[in-house]
Amino acid sequence: MTGPITLDDLPIRDDLRGRSPYGAPQLDVPVRLNTNENSYPLPDVVVEAIAEAVTAELRELNRYPDRDAVALRADLAGYLGHGLTTAQVWAANGSNEIQQQLLQAFAGPGRVALGFTPAYSMHPLLALGTGTRWVDGRRGPDFDLSADDATGQVVEHQPDLVFLCSPNNPTGTALDPAVVRAVLAAAPGMVVVDEAYAEFARPGTASAVRLLSTHPRLVVTRTMSKAFGFAGGRLGYLAAHPAVVDAVQLVRLPYHLSALTQAAARAALAHRDTLLGTVRVIMQQRDRIVAELRRLGLTVADSDANFVLFGVHGLSGGDGVDAGGDQRAVWQALLERGVLVRDVGLAGWLRVTAGTPQETDAFLDAMTELVAGSNFLPGLRAGASTEGIR
């Protein structure tokens, strides 16, 4: 073979051909609000504690880490509460790896996973990577998911694994616990509730962790990336029946969680009150974004997460020309104003992370400018009704 070798020249799986790696744009702009990171750097006291914990591990890096991360799992169980024990918790390199392990253990070739989109876009990709057939479930016209609709689709497709997101990404909405209970009653296999943004939920929002004691096929996945501001540390975890943890250990790679990661995560958990102190501030900025965008006449989804989904139909992409609900044009217009948000591929919608007050100012100033320069009719949006989502 002559000439440069490309991916198409390699004998990769047919179902991977033509695909692109998952990832949001990584651009050097003044305001980055596209990946739902916590905008606040770790406080000095936490940096020092993590540095001390990691340093203590360095001399013995010639040895493998604790294969089962027992001490870390005990700390995570203590954080979650609800009487959970170490045997009911498992940790890995981000909740993505946790969910991949669950698919490896309970799904795979010849099996089916069901999710209700729009939802976290990694779930179908994880299914693809594990050879699991993915079924794209339906949501209502306002991105709602009722117990009857969810269970009807579960009965129809008989999935081996169901993904539920609460709060949901990218809509930000938390699930009614009745939906989770109904799916658990109807599902023939495992039910995974992705609670990556649970710490940001509005008061009174119930966690599926409360259902674990009576539902052995329920798994709740969490992460330290968001509320803890530990995205670079890559630590995700699950809570489930001990038998589920046993099953996941059948497919986990040996020594998958480094000694440095375990030490850093434990140090962060020991300072949970300090780290979680930013949650309330972020929630205030989230609610501010919702209120201000609605004041501008935009349609905005209620949010229990650290981000907001908003409609752009009627906004201009530049030069006063109506973008016709094309979120790509509005995304570009915001980028030209130094603000990076997320185009999640949902026609007529964009998602923005709630950051610091200064970042919120920059985003809202840019949005105000776009609305003022558009031939804008408030309340219009493509592909959905105006009731329910507000």
Task: Please identify every stretch of the chain with a pLDDT value under 50, giving residue numbers as ranges.
Answer: 319-323, 377, 379-388
**Helices and strands (H and E) in the chain: how many:** 12, 13
pLDDT in tens, 239-260: 999 999 999 999 999 999 999 9
SS3 347: coil
- Report the distance separating Cα 190 and Cα 184, nearest Å: 8
pLDDT in tens, 272-299: 999 999 999 999 999 999 999 999 999 9
Domains of the chain: 25-41+276-372 (3.90.1150.10), 44-270 (3.40.640.10)
What pLDDT, on a 0 to 100 scale, did the predictor assign at position 1?
52
Q: Which residues are registered as beta bridge partners of 307?
A: 353
DSSP string for residues in 213-276: GG-TTEEEEEESSSTT--GGG--EEEEE-HHHHHHHHTTSPTT-S-HHHHHHHHHHHHTHHHHT
What pLDDT, on a 0 to 100 scale, did the predictor assign at position 2?
64
Furthest CA-CA distance within the chain: 65
For the entire predicted model, the pTM comes to: 0.92
Cis? peptide before 118, omega within 30° of 0: yes
What pLDDT, on a 0 to 100 scale, did the predictor assign at position 388?
42
The candidate with the shortest Cα–Cα distance to 212, out of 241, 181, 183, 243, is: 241
User: How far is residue 371 from each of residues 332, 337, 342, 376, measured CA to CA in Å?
Assistant: 15, 14, 18, 6
b/e map 5-22, b = 16+ CB within 10 Å: eeeeeeeeeeeeeeeeee
Residue 113 in contact with residue 122, Cβ under 8 Å? Answer: no
User: How far is residue 374 from each of residues 126, 317, 371, measured CA to CA in Å?
Assistant: 40, 8, 5
The candidate with the shortest Cα–Cα distance to 371, out of 314, 327, 332, 326, is: 314
Burial zone of 281 (CB within 10 Å; 0-12 exposed, 13-18 middle, 19+ buried): middle
The candidate with the shortest Cα–Cα distance to 302, out of 177, 198, 361, 388, is: 388
